[in-house]
Amino acid sequence: MEPVASSGQGVVQLRAVLRGISPLICRRLLVRADTSIAQLHHILQVAFGWQDMHLHRFEIRGREYGIHQEGGPFFDTDAHKALIGQLKLRRLERFTYEYDFGDMWVHDLRIEATLPIDPKRGYPVCIAGGRAAPPEDCGGPHAFMANRPAYAVIGGAGESPREFEDLLDEVEDEEWDILRRYHPDRFDRRGVNRKLAALAAPFHERCADEGHHPDLH
C-alpha cells in the first residue's frame, strides 16, 4: 500500500475520535497534504472546540511532534516543517493527538483516503462530525462520562446553578455561563467550518484577530 499524498499534493481525509467517550465524539476532516503538524494542531483545536489552553503532542510512528510551549516537552522535529504528506503515512494508518496532559484527551486519528484537490473547495474543512467535545478542565474522560447526564440537563436551561447542586458538586459563576450554553449532543459543523475558513484566511486578515494563528496558510 503506497503512502498517501507522498508528493505533498492532494488532500488527506482524516477521522478523529476522542478516546474513552461514549457515544462517540468524532470529526471527519479534509486537509491538504502540505498541511504541517503545527497547522493540524490548530485545526483539531477548532474542530473539537478546544481553547488551546494546555500542552499537546502528536505521536506518529513512535515519534512525538508538537509546538513547544513553556513548561512543556521539546520536540526533535520542527512541527511547522513536518508536512502530513511527507510523513509516509499509509491509508488506514493511525496516530494520536493528546491535548491537556492533566485531563488527557487522547484523539485517535486515522488516514481514511487521499483525494485530489478540488479547486472549488476551501481547505481545511470538516465534512462530518458528532457531538460536542467536553468542556475544558472538566477532569478527563472518566469525570466527563460521570457528569454527562448533568451537562445534558444543564445545557440551555438558563436556570440558577443552585438548582443543580445535586448534579454537580460546585459550579462557579463563570463556569455556569459556559455550561448553560453547552450540550454534549450538539455539534455545529457550519460554525466549525467558519472558524476553519478563518484559519486559512490570508495573513493580513488573520493578524487583525488575536485568536487566529499566523502560521496557517
pLDDT in tens, 100-133: 999 999 999 999 999 999 999 999 999 999 999 9
The values of phi and psi at residue 37, to 5°, are: -65, -35
Total length of the chain: 217
Q: What is the pLDDT of residue 88?
A: 86
Q: What is the DSSP letter of 145?
A: H
Band (209; pLDDT cuts 50, 70, 90): very low
Q: Of the candidates 54, 19, 58, 13, which has an alpha carbon nearest to the alpha carbon of residue 37?
A: 58
Where is pLDDT greater, at 140 or 1? 140
pTM of this structure: 0.84
Average pLDDT over every residue of 40-63? 96
Q: Which residues of 39-52 are buried (b: 16+ CB within 10 A; e: fewer)?
A: bbbbbbbbbbbbeb
- Where does 52-172 have alpha helices with state H? 141-154
CATH topology of domain 11-133+185-206: 3.10.290
Q: What is the residue extent of each domain of the chain?
A: 11-133+185-206, 141-179
- Where does 118-188 have alpha helices with state H? 141-154, 173-179
